[in-house]
Chain A
Amino acid sequence: MKLKPGSSGSGKSTFVNTLCESPVILRKDHLDAEKAAAPKTVNITPTTIGLLPEMDEDGLKLSLTVVDTPGFGDNINNEPAFTDILEYIEHQYEEILSQESRIKRNPRFQDNRVHVLLYFVQPTGHGLREMDIEFMRTLGPRVNVIPVISKADSMTPQELNAFKKKVMEDISHYKIPIYDFPYDEDEDDEETIEENTELRGLLPFSVIGSEDEIVLNGRRVRCRQYPWGIVEVDNSKHCDFSKLRYMLLSSHLHDVKDITHEVLYESWRTEKLSKEGHHDDDEEEVVIDG
């Protein structure tokens, strides 16, 4: 399950449609001129797409749920939007917690926890903005955050490299927790370590999305056509879209789910339960909040 915040017009909906190779997310009336000035609330809408079985490992059917957040980052004051999204994520955790605590659990319960949050960073060329930093810092402890550079066709290769470097510097300077393909030097095999190091080096992923196809050199290519050239979505020299897709849907799918369940959910659970007055230590008196 994926959640994707980023300001309007950063290419989120196009990205989803490109990822799923079908127009999943339709443009709504946020293009209306009259409504443009009104402050919008973040509209958190999950859409479930069942993907083809060939897409993933082990031939398992993958049910992908994408949560889009149109309206995020558009307003003059965007701070309320942070809490809306955080509450959505924590709400899913709460559902799980209450399910776990039931005497008779519901076998058909759907796990709606968010496994990955793709944060779309604007290609300014100047590093992260205050809003980006605050948001990722707020949400990093609850969900796997992967920063993505949207509309990467606005930067030349040198600018892109410099920008990626700046973003990563900002992330380490402000100690922003993100999903950075963790690996264990002792336990994992060399292949995994290599793969993870490579993916880590590509962070943040540069992405270009397009729903239009043309025929180029005899094959159908998804691309964006400019007067000065054609940008191909699946060409790894043009952007990191294909690597991101592979990583999300195949290679690291289980990894992000595991981390969500074993690390993020557990830490949330611990915090929540200790706030309510439960202590693990049997020797201490149990303090019951009145």
Chain B
Amino acid sequence: MAPGPVGATNVSVGIANLPNQRHKIVSRKGTNFTVMVVGESGLGKTTFINTLFTTLMREYKRPEHRFNKQMDRTVAIDVVRADIEEKGFNVRLTVIDTPGFGDYANNQDCWVPVIKFIDDQHQLVMNHETLPNRKIDDLRVHVCLYFIQPTGHTLKPLDIEVMKQLSSRVNLIPVIAKADTITPAEMLAFKERIRDCISTHDIQVYSPAVHSDDEETTRRNTSTLAAMPFSIISSENDVVVNGQNVRGRQYIWGVAEVENENHCDFKKLRNLLIRTHMHDLISTTHDSHYEAYRVSKLTAEGRTDNDPAISARRNFEAKMKEEEGALRKRFAEQVKVEENRFRQWEQKLISERDRLNEDLDKQHTLVKQLEEELEEIIAARKR
């Protein structure tokens, strides 16, 4: 379809009102946001989730229960849902936790259940697309936060392997957990080494688009990008600092504040996840990761590009024609054979008839002869 004539309207027709309509629709419908947290236990994933949305989303593991589960060596997938509302706007939030990840002596393949879960969600949506009723519970993961242990050295082999697998399937944001273990100088070096590692091993982490029309936004985006991977400190408790109530961790030697930008990047991460890039995360999940999954699945089944429907039909038709030609030929041959058979039979019958006719004639002549003889004899008797 060729594009029509392009031009600006010189009278306000109302096209500029489109974003407002979008806004109304979205605020009425609310949105669906799925976050997955991956990392070894004890890195503060549960606390982070509870701090991020300032609601108690996950209960802590009960200490008595650890004796039951420990020797299982499995990685579970826990799904927690909540409906969060702020100023009349709803978010159906889903948090996916991965208890047991990386906790064992032998962690080979511990990422397989996680990857499988992500792929399964894409597959579910793909399957449902062709059904008449397309409304399903969309659990596709919009962002995956990978918690890095604050060793201060560099990434571990497990981190690298898992991040590689995750980054091709989902928006991956690595975070440095328990950042209050690392001094500022150490943190800079650590982040540098992690970034090095990430680029050496070609891991595609989520990076928000930097440029925008608004200069303020561009500046903010640049500083956010420079701070990645984000260092975070989480706390569910409030502490009094200088007469104010702040979220923080109270040590003997001071208070590490969660929302203080000098202490950690929690605020930057929260802004990225919720305030500025939530929609981007959701749309890239659908537009790039889901599409990539779809393409890989379909090419694996043997379908190719270039207007697949039509070329498929074309192939189909050609095949049909071929088959038809072959059938026709066979049919003609068979007909010929049958005709021959019939002809021969006919000949046989004709010759049979002729023979029989001849016989009949002979019999007739014989009968005539006998009749004549009989008449002669009768005539002779009468004299």
Question: What residues make up the interface of A, taking CB atoms closer than 8 Å to B?
Answer: 7-10, 30-34, 36-39, 74-79, 82, 122-127, 129-131, 133-135, 151, 153-154, 156-157, 166, 170, 173, 224-232, 237-238
B-chain residues with CB within 8 Å of residue A135 when the two chains form the complex: 105
Sample (19) of A-B pairs whose CB atoms are under 8 Å apart: A8-B156, A36-B154, A37-B161, A76-B107, A76-B108, A76-B157, A82-B105, A122-B149, A124-B40, A126-B42, A129-B42, A129-B103, A130-B71, A151-B150, A151-B181, A153-B181, A154-B181, A166-B63, A228-B253
* B160 within 8 A of partner (CB): yes
A73 shortest CB reach to chain B, Å: 9
Contact A227 B156 (CB under 8 A): no
Given known A-B contacts A9-B153, A237-B252, A33 and B104 have beta carbons under 8 A apart: no
Most buried by B among A36, A79, A126: A36
* B67 within 8 A of partner (CB): yes
CA of A150 to CA of B89 in the docked complex: distance in angstroms? 45
Most buried by A among B105, B149, B151, B196: B105
A-chain residues with CB within 8 Å of residue B257 when the two chains form the complex: 228
The 5 lowest CB-CB distance pairs between A and B, nearest first, are A124-B42, A9-B151, A229-B254, A229-B253, A228-B254
Contact A78 B105 (CB under 8 A): yes
Contact B42 A125 (CB under 8 A): yes
CA of A38 to CA of B161 in the docked complex: distance in angstroms? 10
Given known A-B contacts A76-B108, A76-B158, A79-B105, A156 and B249 have beta carbons under 8 A apart: yes
Contact B253 A230 (CB under 8 A): yes
Given known A-B contacts A31-B193, A37-B201, A133 and B108 have beta carbons under 8 A apart: no
**Could you mark each residue 97-110 of chain B with 1 if its beta carbon is under 8 Å from any beta carbon of chain A, else 0?**
00000011111100
Contact A228 B263 (CB under 8 A): yes
* B30 within 8 A of partner (CB): no
Contact B105 A238 (CB under 8 A): no
A-chain residues with CB within 8 Å of residue B70 when the two chains form the complex: 130, 133
- Can you add 11 more A-B contacts, CB < 8 Å, to A127-B66, A229-B253? A9-B149, A74-B157, A77-B108, A126-B63, A130-B104, A135-B105, A226-B254, A227-B262, A228-B257, A229-B255, A231-B253
Contact A157 B252 (CB under 8 A): yes
Contact B178 A37 (CB under 8 A): no
CA of A227 to CA of B66 in the docked complex: distance in angstroms? 35
With contacts defined as CB atoms under 8 Å apart, how many contacts are there between chain A and chain B in the complex?
A: 137
Contact B183 A224 (CB under 8 A): yes
A-chain residues with CB within 8 Å of residue B154 when the two chains form the complex: 30-33, 36
- What is the number of residues of chain B that contact chain A, defined by CB distance less than 8 Å? 51
* Of A129, A154, A232, the contact of B41 (CB 8 Å cutoff): A129
Question: What residues make up the interface of B, taking CB atoms closer than 8 Å to A?
Answer: 40-43, 61, 63, 66-67, 70-71, 73, 103-108, 149-158, 160-161, 178, 180-181, 183-184, 193, 196-197, 200-201, 249-257, 260, 262-263
Given known A-B contacts A8-B156, A237-B252, A122 and B183 have beta carbons under 8 A apart: no
A57 shortest CB reach to chain B, Å: 31
B-chain residues with CB within 8 Å of residue A232 when the two chains form the complex: 253
A-chain residues with CB within 8 Å of residue B156 when the two chains form the complex: 8, 36, 74
CA of A76 to CA of B164 in the docked complex: distance in angstroms? 14
A176 shortest CB reach to chain B, Å: 13
The closest CB in chain A to the CB of B235 belongs to A156
The closest CB in chain B to the CB of A131 belongs to B105
The closest CB in chain B to the CB of A237 belongs to B252
The closest CB in chain A to the CB of B47 belongs to A125
Contact A126 B61 (CB under 8 A): yes
CA of A96 to CA of B364 in the docked complex: distance in angstroms? 136
B-chain residues with CB within 8 Å of residue A229 when the two chains form the complex: 251, 253-255
CA of A8 to CA of B193 in the docked complex: distance in angstroms? 15
Most buried by B among A37, A75, A229: A37
CA of A217 to CA of B42 in the docked complex: distance in angstroms? 36
CA of A225 to CA of B263 in the docked complex: distance in angstroms? 12
Given known A-B contacts A8-B151, A133-B70, A154 and B180 have beta carbons under 8 A apart: yes
Given known A-B contacts A76-B158, A127-B66, A134-B105, A30 and B153 have beta carbons under 8 A apart: yes
A-chain residues with CB within 8 Å of residue B250 when the two chains form the complex: 156
Contact A78 B263 (CB under 8 A): no
B112 shortest CB reach to chain A, Å: 12
The closest CB in chain B to the CB of A132 belongs to B105
CA of A36 to CA of B106 in the docked complex: distance in angstroms? 18
